[in-house]
Amino acid sequence: MDVEHARLMRDKERGLHRAQPFAPQAGMRKHREIRFNKLRPGQVEQGRLVLENLGHIEVADGLLPNSLSVWYDVTEHTMEGIESALIAQGFHLENTLYCKLIRALVAFCEETQLRNMRQPERLLKKYNETYSKAWEHHPHGDHDDTPPELRQDR
């Protein structure tokens, strides 16, 4: 049994789903991976302590030796906020082009999700009625201005 298979079994027992951490995820609960700079040893253990003290974040070993997996609710935390808190504490995150791109994508997705959650729910039925009424009053080819008494029945 390899290490990844053992982690999957452990996570199933704990009820933690280990989806692809960098893929867009539907729902409020997010699973992400934080990668620390490889050149600074000891950051992973210290980062785990900081994240566990933040509250409402579950932390586990990451897929890579220099990473941590985190689960959080997007209404309480965002990945950008979590990483900003770590950087403010003096941690150095991996800064490869790939990680920067993933960070930007995750930040955009979470920001958009939060903005959409703040918008009032649209009642589609009322919108359809509005468009129907606007169509009735809009001049188009289906409207005949001839009075009914002048129309010829064929």
Q: Residue 109 maps to which CATH number?
A: 3.30.70.100
Q: pLDDT tens, 90-112?
A: 999 999 999 999 999 999 999 99
| DSSP string covering 11-57 | HHHHT-----TTS---SSEEEEEEEB-TTSTTHHHHHHHHHHHHSSE
Residue 50 belongs to domain spanning: 3-118
Residue 112 lies in a domain: yes
State residue 137's pLDDT score.
74
Residue 29 lies in a domain: yes
State residue 7's pLDDT score.
67
pTM of the model: 0.64
CA–CA separation, 112 and 56 (whole Å):
21
CA–CA separation, 128 and 114 (whole Å):
26
Residue 144 lies in a domain: no
| Banded model confidence at residue 15, pLDDT cuts 50, 70, 90 | low
Residue 11 lies in a domain: yes
Helix (H, G, I), strand (E, B) or coil at 136: helix
Question: Under a CB-based contact definition with an 8 Å cutoff, are residues 30 and 74 in contact?
Answer: yes
Number of domains the chain is built from: 1
Residue 132 lies in a domain: no
Residue 90 lies in a domain: yes
State residue 122's pLDDT score.
67
